[in-house]
Structure 1
Amino acid sequence: MKKLIRGLLDFRRHTLPSYRATFARLAKGQSPDCLFISCSDSRVVPNLLVSTDPGDLFTVRNVGNLVPPATLDGQNTADRSEAAAIEFSLGFLPIEDVVVCGHSSCGAMKAILAGGVVDGAPNLEKWLAHGTPSLKALKENTQVGAGLPDADRLSQLNVLEQLEHLKTYPIVRERLAAGTLRLHGWWFDIGAAQVHAYREDLGRFVPIDETEGERLLTALSDASAQGAEEQQGLRAVQ
């Protein structure tokens, strides 16, 4: 706790002066364009990894970066917190992208790999059940995470599974169909301090280095331009 207090004082003395205008603006409302779903692990710090400021990311953090799937009627009666965050961010904020980010050496994945039984933690045990479908993929998919320890392979496959869980929500399906939302699977290698992105065309995660970063930026620009043209065409028809 002493570290937190000292850090707060340091923030007030050295950082706050340059952020006063930012917080004054944010006091009037937020307009993040990305929903970032990551693990609660203390070693994963989304704002640090992507160099974002306050107000840039709408974040959801939980054990294992899990997204409980919705039922056929679009509700999630078991775990409403994540469901509420998805509905709020996609329905009331200008979110254009959703990132699900897993990481190496994930304790949740190790627990699932060991059978998902956590003595003395019944709530955690039930929560981890949302990640067990990835175990099937671990046996069937040998390409994703090839060469990594099983827990890290499971972590990467779990990212892909949670992206599928996202698609069980009506608002996600509707916005994907309308072309107003993009889903991204990321994975953070803690030891190398390297973020990887899933390449569907390659069927695996690749490091977001300078080359891959430029490719992603170009793809996003092209997608935005295409979306703008389609919207303009729709307005012309109307």
Structure 2
Amino acid sequence: MKKLITGLLDFQRHSLPPYRATFARLAKGQSPDCLFITCADSRVVPNLLVSMDPGDLFVIRNVGNMVSPADDAGQSTGDRSEAAALEYSLLHLPVEDIVVCGHSSCGAMKALLAGNADERSPNLGDWLNLGRSALQSLEHGGLVGQGLPPADQLSQLNVLQQIKHLRSYPLVRQRLEAGTLRLHGWWFDIGNAQVHAYRPGRERFVPIDEVEGEQMLAELRHSEVEKSSTSAA
């Protein structure tokens, strides 16, 4: 707690002045165009990774960057918090992209591998069931993440599984079909401070370096041009 109080005072003394205008503007509302779903792990700091200011990202954080799938009626089959944030972001914010970001050395993935038999954490055990399909994919020789330690490979497979869960929501499917939403799978290698993106054409996670980043930006620009042409027609 001492670090929090000391840090708050340091923010008020040194970091706040340049941001006063930003917070004054944000007091009137927010308009993030990306929903970022990531792990509650303290080593993963979304705004730091992507150099974003306050108000730029709408963020969901939980153990293992999980999302409960929806049933046929569009209702979450598990915890409603993630589904509520998903609906809010798509209905009330200008969100056009959703990123699911896992990471290396994830405690949730290690617990999933170990079976999480600790009777003291029944809620954690139930929650981790959302990654059970990813674990089954790992056990059946899933190709994504091959060569990584088992927990890291599972983490990458879990990112793809949670994207599948997102696709089970009617709102997400409608926006995808309309071409007004994109889903992205990212994975953060903590030790190397390197973010990887899942590239469907290559069926693997690829480091977002200068070359890859420029290629991704070019693809986004092309997508936006196509969307504009479709809207005009």
- What is the TM-score when the length of structure 2 is the normalising length? 0.98
Counterpart of 1:67?
67
Cα separation, 2, equivalents of 1:59 and 1:13: 27
Alignment of 1:171-190 (within 5 A): 171-190=171-190
* Gaps in structure 2 of 5+ consecutive residues: none
Counting only pairs closer than 5 Å after superposition, residues 79-228 of structure 1 correspond to structure 2 as 79-228=79-228
Say what the alpha-carbon RMSD is for the aligned residues. 0.9
- Mapped partners of 1:127, 1:143: distance in 2: 25
Q: Which residue of 2 aligns with 1:236?
A: none
Q: How far has the Cα of 1:142 moved from its partner?
A: 4.0
- Aligned identity (percent) is 67
Superposition deviation, residue 189 in structure 1: 0.4
Deviations 1:59-90 (A, max 9, x none): 00000000110111000153110010000001
- What is the CA deviation profile of residues 119-171 of structure 1, one whole-angstrom value per residue up to 9, with x for unaligned ones? 30111110100111101211334431111001100000000000000001110
Distance 1:18 1:120 in 2: 46
Q: Which runs of 5+ in 1 are unaligned?
A: 234-238
- Whether the 8 Å CA contact 1:109–1:151 is kept in 2: the answer is yes
Secondary structure at 1:196's aligned position in 2? strand
Residue 10 of structure 2 aligns with which residue? 10
- AA of the residue aligned to 1:183: L
Q: Which amino acid aligns with 1:31?
A: S
Letter in 1 for 2:2: K
Stretches of 4+ moved more than 2 A in 1?
116-119, 139-143
Question: In structure 2, the residue corresponding to 1:5 is in which secondary structure?
Answer: helix
Tell me the distance in 1 between the aligned counterparts of 2:136 and 2:103. 19
